[in-house]
Structure 1
């Protein structure tokens, strides 16, 4: 163990040594007390100090090292140490340099808090709710809300940096220290803030530095007060994220859009530094104007196309293609595609432009209408079969509909549709073209003449026809008149006498002769009557008999008797 000599110490050290010797007389030896001691030896494990006690004390050398592992002491130095225990049983007093430094740090922080003094600390890392800061050897807590003037989501840029703080809370019993960087910023910017706020005026141009970026905008330091540059005020065009326009640390100019003096909130805009492209937009792009633009955004209901810097219009999905009305926009165009569009409508007040892509192509419905008329024959493959009809593909990618009722003249629709399949090539007749509703009506049965019309032409009302009973029910029977036409005989039209059940009079296969009493074109039914035929026959017979009677040679014959006899003979037959 070596001892430092007084002759080697400088004059200042001699005076400090005198004070040290004097303090040994007056200092009180209590546990926790901070006293002064002289370093008399240093080795690899301990630093030996003389505190004027009965014996020298050994303090671990680690308590004298800095963060770099360097010993911050030398023989002859006088240092403050804390008494941890007195007379440990071996006549030695246990001293601590580390505890003395912490006590000194606590006292310094208490003084700094009471005086409002700024302290320096090193930000260590993240903890729940904030950051840890090393201040004077003590670990302090920096709440996330006090890191900056505004809440900070990402604290990474602040970590492992030396910064200034103010102590706002101390609790030695709980070993709790709370510091605030925001308090320092508020104090530092206080004077600048007041001066800035006095000069703030809506419409004025200010300079600032981007200090933080969020999803909805960027905060700009104006030198004492922050302003919000909202994402919608960054550019006239669509901006998906503020980072597309600005970055942290960027210096920029902005216009003050709004200033709330009560809440000290400043709204900024940089797009307002230039001319508003929406002014005069209707004059530059009259309705019907065609131009090329770039697809800037896609949604479920359409695509936004940029036609010039800061100007976007919506192409609704219904205006993308003449035939694909409900297709997803992403199946027609992609982001960045250059497409040709037509201006359909402009609302300058609402800043909305309606665009169309299909209007830049020929309208297949108009093309079809120009090349086809009602009654023309067309052909195509069956695209789909639904509950109400058959869709046939036509030139230009459009479809025509054959309603179920237009499949066959005689076969019921439910049966007729079974004769068709998807992909089958068929021929049809154009029944109607509705350009406004974009509908084309087709018919397959119209390829042939209407058998009802043909039959009715040769068999007018009152005609006597022959047929075979096809089906019979209690209330009536279906009669096959020829290969393509059927008639219907109601029970009430069989006889003058009441017929309760047709099946007691006729059966399938019976041949009958009846009169056509009605042609129901709407329901496509030819109504027959045996009763009407018989009545007509009787009228004819009576007229013939009357004629024969008037020509008879003998006048003694009673006309009434002759008619009666004739009728009786007829009934007997």
Structure 2
């Protein structure tokens, strides 16, 4: 029946179809209604749902007619629609994953990945409810009545010529559009973004956060490192736009060169020192001293201190330089057997007392051990009964082990030797012998 909406009542509208009929709010339309007042005075076709003659009550529906019409149109459209067709549609719903369009009889989904070649976070960045769009039919599932739509497919794919346009080594300019823990995305052109990984941001700085180097929205220059067309990826480098100080490091710091460095950091295994901005080296704890047993670098160095060192090795590819302080002087252990042979009398200071003996620092800095058995020719209870820390003592070298950097000393042998020398100095005369005999007779 045909009728005209005449007034609004509780729960719906009243319609004049020759007599008054009730149009429930749920039956007014097949889309969301913002305001029922918009329908007042308008004429439509209606389907009678219910008639109560006794109460003279008639219930009508416009929605059912619209649904029947939509189903008919949908069936007709599914027969004629094909992939690649261009169609006009109206945005009826926006979700996080895409947009639903009314194609005049059938709904289609425009997925967010098919809206544009460039990166967007939400479909609302491009469209709004009620907006009319021309889209391409990407896929039609006639059994399920589903249609997939595309908007970006109307334009040429900017990635098609990407390898020819941006070969490795190309210098590009773009805007930082996104920062992530592992790097920064830069928009080279609409629809084309590349990644600057944090490892490609600086030659000299250990970057842990891209925000240390770049900011969102900043215009930067970068070098194309690689292009993966099929995966839609471009790798870029920021540090490659600058000179790499490691390129000349082998020439500037050859092995054996003596250099001045500054202690930047101390660790359990060594000290990191700076040679120049961006070029650091490591002095391993084992290369601090020939003779001292260093348990931590802080025993010999402090942060900020200027120290001389010898370059031991350079690895340009791994960006590693090792240096040594002890190499500034000769290794005393290499000449120990000549400078301090066995049976040499030496003098030194007691540095440490243990249950098994005493350690003595000699004049050349080497530390030797006087074992408890070699402390005295007399009996004693503890090592501390014979020597004390910081006491200056004399001893004889009794054993040298250059390979294991050990030297054994003896105070007992020195004392015994001196006593023997005293005995050797005594001269027995005939008069003394006769006197001795007379004393025995008497």
Counterpart for residue 148 of structure 2:
267
Counterpart for residue 396 of structure 2:
513
Give how far 1:254 is off. Answer: 1.9
Counterpart for residue 311 of structure 1:
192
Q: Name the SS for the 1:375 alignment partner.
A: coil
On the 8 A contact 2:268/2:296 being kept in 1, the answer is no
Q: Name the SS for the 1:413 alignment partner.
A: coil
On the 8 A contact 1:391/1:402 being kept in 2, the answer is yes
TM-score calculated relative to the size of structure 1: 0.59
Task: Spell out, residue by residue over 1:267-304, the C-alpha distance to the aligned partner (whole angstroms, 9 max, x if none).
Answer: 11121122222234334333333322222222222111
Task: Spell out, residue by residue over 1:188-215, the C-alpha distance to the aligned partner (whole angstroms, 9 max, x if none).
Answer: 3333222211112223332323333333
Q: Name the SS for the 1:304 alignment partner.
A: strand
TM-score calculated relative to the size of structure 2: 0.74
Structure 1's 416 and 326: CA in aligned 2 closer, same or farther, altered over 3 A?
Answer: closer
Counterpart for residue 161 of structure 1:
38
Match of 1:205 among 76, 80, 86: 86
Counterpart for residue 314 of structure 2:
433
Task: Spell out, residue by residue over 1:70-104, the C-alpha distance to the aligned partner (whole angstroms, 9 max, x if none).
Answer: xxxxxxxxxxxxxxxxxxxxxxxxxxxxxxxxxxx
Give how far 1:332 is off. Answer: 1.9
Distance across 2 between alignment mates of 1:187 and 1:468 = 111
> Where does 1:105-504 land on structure 2 (aligned, <5 Å)?
120=5, 133-135=12-14, 140-142=24-26, 148=30, 160-162=37-39, 183-414=64-295, 417-418=298-299, 420-446=301-327, 448-450=328-330, 452-453=332-333, 456=336, 458-459=338-339, 462=342, 464-468=344-348, 470=350, 471-491=352-372, 503=383
Distance across 1 between alignment mates of 2:303 and 2:113 = 52
Q: Name the SS for the 2:205 alignment partner.
A: coil
Listed as ranges, the gaps of 5+ residues in structure 1 are 1-114, 125-130, 172-176, 535-573
Distance across 2 between alignment mates of 1:492 and 1:423 = 46
Alignment RMSD (CA, Å): 4.3
Distance across 2 between alignment mates of 1:456 and 1:372 = 32
Q: Which one scores higher on RCO, CA 8 angstroms, separation ≥ 6?
A: 2
Distance across 2 between alignment mates of 1:390 and 1:312 = 41
1 or 2, which has the higher helix percentage?
1
Structure 1's 180 and 411: CA in aligned 2 closer, same or farther, altered over 3 A?
Answer: farther
Listed as ranges, the gaps of 5+ residues in structure 2 are 53-57, 416-442
Distance across 1 between alignment mates of 2:8 and 2:254 = 84
Structure 1's 170 and 429: CA in aligned 2 closer, same or farther, altered over 3 A?
Answer: farther
Counterpart for residue 81 of structure 1:
none
On the 8 A contact 1:407/1:417 being kept in 2, the answer is no
Distance across 2 between alignment mates of 1:449 and 1:424 = 20
Structure 1's 277 and 367: CA in aligned 2 closer, same or farther, altered over 3 A?
Answer: same
Structure 1's 292 and 502: CA in aligned 2 closer, same or farther, altered over 3 A?
Answer: same
On the 8 A contact 2:201/2:207 being kept in 1, the answer is no
Structure 1's 322 and 349: CA in aligned 2 closer, same or farther, altered over 3 A?
Answer: same
Q: Name the SS for the 1:194 alignment partner.
A: helix
Distance across 1 between alignment mates of 2:318 and 2:308 = 23
Structure 1's 514 and 298: CA in aligned 2 closer, same or farther, altered over 3 A?
Answer: closer
On the 8 A contact 1:514/1:533 being kept in 2, the answer is no
Task: Spell out, residue by residue over 1:430-488, the C-alpha distance to the aligned partner (whole angstroms, 9 max, x if none).
Answer: 33222232222233444x41453475274266463423461443423323321522222
On the 8 A contact 2:268/2:297 being kept in 1, the answer is no
On the 8 A contact 1:305/1:313 being kept in 2, the answer is yes
Bigger CA radius of gyration = 1
Counterpart for residue 439 of structure 2:
none
Q: Name the SS for the 1:333 alignment partner.
A: coil
Structure 1's 511 and 457: CA in aligned 2 closer, same or farther, altered over 3 A?
Answer: closer
